[in-house]
Each structure stands twice: as structure tokens, then as C-alpha cells.
Amino acid sequence: MAYRLIIGILLLALIAGTIAIGTRSEAPDERDADAPAYDPGYVARDAEVVETGDDGHELYRLKADLIRQRPDAGVVELGRVHMNYFPAKDTRWNVTALRGEVQQTGERIRLAGDVNVTGPMPTAAQTIQLDTDTLDIQTREQVITTDAPVTLTWSGQRLSAIGLRANLKEEKVELQSKVNGRFVP
């Protein structure tokens, strides 16, 4: 009789073990089906991106040592950036920065770290240079902004301020605060 009792207990243990193993093997599959798929995006080294406007003309050409897509954040990260920006026909601005990020729509570029911008002065043959630590470029609206200290240099003249808003379409620059400059005739 004890022999039958031991066999019965072993059979029950075997059935319970089979059910437990079956339940464990199904749980990860169920969790994987419910969990969103992770999309790591793309990574490129020494890459170039060209964005065109609605009219098909080149809006900007962006080169970076590293380009990394972050789909979870909706941005593309950039390392060591060099950009040619063409806000108007026959107008080119050169932009460099240590790092940046582009919205996946391509309409806004945020740059940081030794940002340098050079481009034509309105109604003059001279170029102007802008130096700051951060810069936001709204490519289609042709607006650049920063809340950081900024220095503008042209023809030996130098102007510094905290914060800037420049509308390249309207050829208008607004310095936000603590404006300081010296103009030598």
C-alpha cells in the first residue's frame, strides 16, 4: 500500500512540475507580445545629411563625425558638426559645433559647444561671425536663437550680449540683454 502511495505522490509531483514548467515557458512569450518593440535607430560615422525645402532646393547640408538616431526621443544626435545652411538662394551660412541634435522632422537643429556661425551681412559684401555656446536653428522659418552669451564680430567691430534672436528672412537681429560693444570709426 505504501508503494502505491509513493507512486501516486510522484505522479502528482510530475504533473505539477509539467504544469509549472509549461506556465513559465508561456509567460515570457506573453510578456514579449505585450511589450513594445525596442527600435535602436541607426548610427553613422563621417556622414552627411542633405535636407531640401518644399521647392526642392537645398536647405542645409549637415556633416558630422557621428550621427545617432534616437527614435524614443524623436531626435538625431550629432557629434562634431559642420553645416552649410542656405536660408535664401545664393546665401550660405557656415555653422560648426561640438555636438547637436536634429528633430526627426529636420525643422529644428539645436547645437552646443563652441558654436560658430559665419555668413553674409545684409546689404554688404562683408561677413559676420557669431560665437556662442548654444544655438537653436529653425531651418524653415529661418530663425536662429540663443539664451547664452553671444559675440558678433564684423569688420573689426565687436558686439556682445546675453541672448539673441535673428530672423534671417527679415534680416533682423535682436540682442536680448547686457549688450556691450565698441565701434571704432
pLDDT, tens digit (0-9, with 9 covering 90-100), for 145-169: 999 999 998 888 889 999 999 988 8
Q: Are residues 67 and 121 in the same domain?
A: yes
Host domain of residue 26 = 1-35
For the sheet with 75-85, list strands across it: 43-52, 58-70, 75-85, 93-103, 108-120, 127-138, 143-154, 157-167, 172-182
Q: Are residues 27 and 94 in the same domain?
A: no
> In the chain, how many domains are there?
2
Residue range 77-114, pLDDT digits in tens? 999 999 998 887 778 889 999 999 998 877 899 999 99
Residue range 28-83, pLDDT digits in tens? 445 455 545 567 788 889 999 888 888 888 888 999 999 998 888 888 899 999 99
Q: Are residues 80 and 143 in the same domain?
A: yes
Q: Enter the pTM of the model.
A: 0.73
